[in-house]
Chains A and B, each alone.
Chain A
């Protein structure tokens, strides 16, 4: 990985920006294009690569340009971080019991009504003896 980055910088001087205007070595396709032949996959395919056997060193050129840009172009200074570096992340509600289940288990006053006559209620009276009130009433 490191050698791949270093190898183009050996060919060029990365400290100096490339001033020359980029000129493509490829021959621009002449318009109008030639008629599409049955052997061509798409229009202008033949103009992409020169007919000569040696391929253009486009990869090397691109790598050089990237290395030059990384070495010479001014960078925006990194803004200082504000607040906590480690955030709590998005809020997540904890697990809860089903509302229906908890409500059905909870005793309700409606359960005390007499089934056959709902205007009547079952009442359990607890009379707290006087000694209890002596120390203050507490639910037993």
Chain B
């Protein structure tokens, strides 16, 4: 679990809009820009055989070492990994309200990037390919 400073949270806000509405209405470039400003957007070139666990460890370390200075707290009832992996729900098809939902996906020891790249329904959907980059979504754990 990591905490986000209020100043960073402001990046995701639009004046005069309630927070939950804004988070749903930020789309595409806007959201990516807010993530980048909050040091939550990271780009890597990794071998296909590298594991998701190592990727999560790398991302968490980069978050801690970033100017944002995130800190992770572990609670006994949660798993050891600092971040969770998010998978597309319903094969990436949007719900009636137009939203594509994401769901935490269990991360096993041997789960690799190649496994994600070949899972078109949950990870390597065309909506998860942005400008020749494979987008992997992580969330708090």
Contact = CB atoms under 8 A, between A and B. Distances in A.
Interface in B16-31: 19-20, 23-24, 26-28, 31
A3 B76 CA distance: 108
A134 B59 CA distance: 21
Contacts of B38: 129
The size class of the interface chain A forms with chain B is 20 to 34
B124 to A, nearest CB: 4
Contacts of A106: 126
A138 B41 contact: no
A41 interface: no
Interface string A101-140: 0000011110110100001111111111111111111111
Given A121-B48, A132-B139, A136-B101, A127 B133 contact: no
B53 interface: no
Interface residues of B, number: 59
B40 A126 contact: yes
Interface of B: 1-4, 8-9, 12, 19-20, 23-24, 26-28, 31-32, 35, 38, 40-49, 55, 59, 63, 83, 86, 88, 92, 99-104, 113, 117-118, 120, 124, 126-127, 129-130, 132-140
